[in-house]
Amino acid sequence: MSETDVPFVGHERLSKIDANSSPETLRKIYDAWARKYDADTTGHLGYVGPVEGARKLAEWVPDKKAKILDAGAGTGMSGAALHEWGYSNLDALDISAEMLVVAEEKGAYNHLFQDNMAGPEPLKLPSNDYDAILVVGTFTKGHVHADALDELIRVTKPNGLIVFTLRPDMCDDPAYGFTEKLPKIEAEKKVELLSKTTEKYHLKHDKINCYMYVYKVLK
């Protein structure tokens, strides 16, 4: 039996998530998954999104002391990559306390915040605080919708950057609002699109790529 024939042990958890999943449902799923998440996703899916996202942010933010928020950080795979490359001013935010425990063990973050990016309450973070925000694997099925960009813009400094991944199937799904939201925030001069590229995401299993966006905050 090849590795790709082995059942993906996270499939049962992910199959419970849809566009109407509540934050509490997501929190419970990821709390239970936290200790096996890295091995599960990197091993079966060949999940390279976190490293590719970190690489894209590093390309646009060369300052190793820049204050960076890893939003939807999960177990901290993106932060670990950035830390390895010398970035020293990293914070993490995630809905799951148990995922954040694993992230903290990687030793990459100065502060870790448990919060819900999906709203409806604003993030418990100050405005105009971060030089850059990285969001990998969070704008995805049953997770965070496009309206969360408003809060990310709020907590980013003027001229700061927001780098995020978006799967092609999510980009065009009206349930998540990206086809309307992205042109809207561009037209309102809240952000400027600096780059949109296609990057590796899953090297195994479904072998999908993702879109990688880089926006500059203008407000």
Cis bond upstream, residue 120 (ω within 30): yes
64-85 pLDDT, tens digit each: 999 999 999 999 999 999 999 9
23: left (phi over 0), alpha (psi -120 to 50) or beta: alpha
Say yes or no to pLDDT of 18 above 80: no
Q: Kindly state the average pLDDT of the residues 37-54.
A: 94
Residue-level pLDDT at 17: 66
pLDDT(59) > 80: yes
Structural domains of the chain ordered from first start:
3-217 (3.40.50.150)
Separation between Cα atoms, residue 112 and residue 76, nearest integer Å:
10
Instruction: Give the strand pairing for 156-166 and 130-135.
Output: parallel
What's the mean per-residue pLDDT of the chain?
A: 91
Amino acid at 54: A
- Kindly report, residue by residue over 115-157, the tens digit of the pLDDT: 999 989 999 999 999 999 999 999 987 789 999 999 999 999 9
Going by their DSSP bridges, the two strands 130-135 and 191-200 should be labelled as unpaired
Task: Write down the pTM of the prediction.
Answer: 0.92
